[in-house]
Structure 1
């Protein structure tokens, strides 16, 4: 659980400004902001702390989801290991659809604003959230970032999570869909090694297929593993670098936004 591995809101910054910590709610009298020691914790107490952390996050996620639904904001949480090509993928999506759609981006990294700078070069608004030692974004920090973006209605919100397949899986941000990305340089067994995120995701993107002739990656087996974990998961195979099959992902995103606006997707 992330409270054990070192996540700490006191270290969260947004574009170089330290996030001002403030208390919104008291959850069952448990102060989930205090550091927790794995050495001194017994199992039942750790379960209690974890449940309270997730309950608090789910409260903020519900707030985000209600607001975004009211404003017709179609939000996507992009999750992957470091180096899968998330930021390159996002820039290519943005360049392809920004003429017809309003787009906002929240970038999550432990340090630097480099990814947000890359996104802003495409001409859209992006805000960087640095999590410090934290290994994922949560609904609280994302909600504040979304407010800071001052988003127009009827827009896309792309959230690029911290590079990590483990911790982000358990934290709802209020998004419409989770998209998990893996590249062919990582190994086809990722869905079996990290089943929680593949079970939670609506779409798996296999990136860098232009490298298939040069790596030992079993594409068919990877898809089978993903379906074994989540029979409902959709799969798109593409290359953000070469552009191969990028239109499939763009079409998936645009169709999802249209379904949300037509009322076919119920997020609450």
Structure 2
């Protein structure tokens, strides 16, 4: 169980490679990985029900351990020229649609791999596979976010090619994913016009840590109440450096700006690393 937010269960996440619609490989127990980060996986399962100071200390320990694994993830990927983007949103904002279109349109330029995070099912992973990318599914059970250790295990199963674009679709949630560094090169917060333009005010932390905010489903603007300028202004108040891209993953409008931003995060060249 996650001591920070109280989510999760005792069985832990399930990591599986999706190929041809079948469950090809299960790395639930973390065996047989190709890169050794030498992590200590013994979590403290005291859930902090006692004194508030103990809860704060436990949370700090969980996040510190996560950040340590994230550093190893980042170093491993940078050493191979792999650009990882952590895409976060509430359920139904259009993450999978955005990823599928990106795979179809950018996949000829560079290899693209995907880590799919959901509490249950492999439905989104199947859509990603059909779009043409290699993909692993991480089912978190009761967990409401991905963490660096899950990404470590997913990388073992996925083994992305050098120079890949790695798209991480986080569990649908605008709260807990903001707390956990995964080793990514960029944090993307996706919101959609039917959700309303007040999301930065309601969920300030995730917007404060974002490198990019994507406003999706602009093809629905004639039918919903959504003030794009006001939403952008809210995000900029929380995070003056954040960039905002307005697009429709369904129609393709605005996708060029999304691709340009991806290119701006992909300037890291591979360096020699020990295998």
TM-score between both structures, scaled by the size of structure 1: 0.90
**2: distance between equivalents of 1:166 and 1:131?**
16
CA-CA distance at 1:144 after TM superposition: 1.1
Residues 1:149 and 2:128 are matched in the alignment: no
Pair 1:192–1:131, CA change in 2 (3 A): same
Aligned to 1:36: 47
Corresponding residue of 2:127: 118
Partner of 2:138 in structure 1?
Answer: 129
2:34 matched to which residue of 1?
Answer: none
Q: Tell me, in whole angstroms, the C-alpha distance in 2 between the residues paired with 1:130 and 1:35.
A: 23
Supply the distance in 2 between the matched residues of 1:72 and 1:8 (Cα, whole angstroms).
34
Determine helix, strand or coil for the equivalent of 2:131. Answer: coil
What's the secondary structure of 2:265's corresponding residue?
A: helix
Given the alignment of the two structures, is residue 254 of structure 1 paired with residue 263 of structure 2, yes or no? Answer: yes
Q: Is residue 24 of structure 1 aligned with residue 30 of structure 2?
A: no
Distance 1:91 1:181 in 2: 15
Deviation at 1:189?
Answer: 1.0
Deviation at 1:24? 3.5
Match of 1:46 among 41, 44, 55: 55
CA distance in 2, matches of 1:33, 1:125: 33
Aligned-CA RMSD value: 2.0
Per the alignment, residue 148 of structure 2 pairs with 139
Structure whose residues are more often helix by fraction: 1
3-state secondary structure, aligned to 1:5: coil
Q: Hey, what's the Cα distance between the residues in 1 that align with 2:10 and 2:80? A: 27
CA distance in 2, matches of 1:136, 1:181: 15
SS of corresponding position for 1:127: strand
| 2:197 is the alignment partner of 1:188 | yes
How far the C-alpha of 1:10 sits from its partner, in A, is 2.3
Q: 1:189 to 1:64 in 2, by over 3 A?
A: same
How big is the shift at 1:262? 8.8
What TM-score does the superposition give when structure 2 sets the normalisation length? 0.88
1:170: Cα distance to partner? 0.4
Q: Deviations over 1:183-223 (max 9, x none)?
A: 01111110111111111110000000000000011111000
Cα distance between partner residues in 2 of 1:24 and 1:8: 21
Deviations 1:117-169 (A, max 9, x none): 10000121000000000000000011110121122111111000000010000
Name the residue aligned to 1:63.
72
Q: Which runs of 5+ in 1 are unaligned?
A: 264-268
Report the number of matched residues. Answer: 256
Deviation at 1:2, TM superposition (A): 4.5
After superposition, give the CA deviation of every residue in 1:208-259 in whole Å (9 maximum; x if it has no partner): 00000000111110000000000000000000011111111012112321x2
Query: Aligned pair in 2 of structure 1 residues 21, 98: CA closer, same or farther (>3 Å)?
Result: closer
Moved over 4 A (4+): none
Which of 211, 221, 224 is equivalent to 1:215? Answer: 224
